């Protein structure tokens, strides 16, 4: 299980999405000011991810890289976290909620296209935003990119 909970703000949306897909608990407040982020950080017991150099606190991880893959690598290095393959795709990339396994019938009720229902075996559901996830080519691309990130490529 990942060690900590995180909060990010500003231009870190792509990093947040990646970290959620990796199973990390990351709250995203894109428009929040540093003082508001700091207050939320203390209130919820989260470490801060930021690109703002002047926003240095003991609870802050400064993300200096511009490319998302480099940002993920930097996050792993600076946070001391490790990727747990058992937690991949366990959180909603949009809202951070934990996903639930659902049946094909439930996926159908949630509007998953018939061809997907016919070709996929597993479905995961976000109870907060009602999005349904299934393994597809996007997942394979993400895993290939993740391998490059972890191997330093």
Bigger pLDDT: 62 or 1? 62
CB–CB of 100/125 below 8 Å?
Answer: yes
Mean pLDDT of 103-118: 96
pLDDT tens per residue, range 119-137: 999 999 999 999 999 998 7
pLDDT higher than 80, residue 152: no
| Burial of 151 per CB tally in 10 Å (0-12, 13-18, 19+) | exposed
Domain coordinates in residue numbering, the chain: 5-87, 100-151
């Amino acid at each position: 299980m990942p060690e900590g909970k995180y909060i990010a703000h500003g231009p870190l949306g792509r990093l947040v999405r990646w970290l959620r897909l990796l199973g990390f608990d990351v709250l995203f407040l894109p428009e929040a000011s540093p003082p508001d982020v700091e207050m939320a950080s203390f209130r919820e017991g989260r470490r801060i991810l930021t690109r703002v150099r002047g926003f240095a606190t003991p609870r802050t991880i400064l993300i200096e890289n511009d490319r998302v893959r480099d940002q993920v690598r930097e996050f792993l290095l600076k946070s001391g976290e490790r990727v747990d393959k058992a937690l991949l795709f366990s959180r909603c990339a949009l809202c951070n909620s934990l996903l639930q396994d659902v049946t094909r019938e439930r996926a159908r009720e949630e509007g998953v296209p018939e061809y997907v229902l016919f070709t996929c075996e597993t479905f995961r559901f976000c109870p907060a935003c009602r999005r349904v996830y299934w393994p597809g080519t996007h997942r394979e691309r993400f895993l290939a990119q993740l391998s490059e990130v972890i191997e330093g490529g």
